[in-house]
Every structure is written in structure tokens, then in C-alpha cells.
Structure 1
């Protein structure tokens, strides 16, 4: 599977995530970065105010730092 195909599949999966799944995933990513001693782009309190698409963008760009989330 090519890298381009893999990123397309990840985008498709993220689009199917429910709001609850997006919030849990984002929260876990924030905790993971804190555990590693890294600063995260967003705070846990930001999760509730972000749109679903903003959460998808955060998750995707964290997993693929060289890629951009484009709707």
C-alpha cells in the first residue's frame, strides 16, 4: 500500500468517527504528548470548543506531521 493510499484511508476513517470518538482520541493524544514531556498544540479544555473538523485536523496532522488535513 502506498503512503498516499494510507493517508487517504486514515482520512476516510476519521470522517466516520463520532464526536465522542474524536474527543477521546484527541484527549489521549494530549495525555501521550504530556507523558513524553512534549507540549501539545491544544489543551484538554480546547477539545469541547473545537469543531469535529478541527479535531480531525489535529489528530491527522499529529499522525502525519508532513501532511495537511484538507477537507
Structure 2
């Protein structure tokens, strides 16, 4: 099974999806400065690993992307 054909859990998708389609404008240096802030924010709510995680604690991938908005010069 690969990521494309994998059965999705809507609860996880809905809880973890973040999208900003507003008019956010940033320079490359601003994006670079934002990276450690986002990384720290992601790590903050994660508890220390336990020897026995709860049954609903599954491995996840957190992926943040920045790119030029479509239709802009």
C-alpha cells in the first residue's frame, strides 16, 4: 500500500489540515525566518514519547509548503 492508495482517516485529515488561501505575501528571507518558528510550534504540543503509545496514536508526517500562488507574476 502506498500513500496514494492508502485508506484515509477523515478524522485525522480534518484535525490536521491547515490551509491559508488568503493574500499572504512574503519574501524569501521572511519565509526562511518563519521556518524555525513553525518547527518550534509543531514540536511544542508533542508529549515525550511513552514506551506504550495509546492505540489511536499513529505515526504522522507534518508537511508545510510555501510556493508562489498560482496566477501571480
Q: Shorter-chain-normalised TM-score: which range?
A: 0.3 to 0.5
Higher helix residue share: 1
Normalised by the size of structure 2, how large is the TM-score? 0.35
Normalised by the size of structure 1, how large is the TM-score? 0.36
- By relative contact order (CA 8 Å, sep 6+), the higher-ranking structure is 2
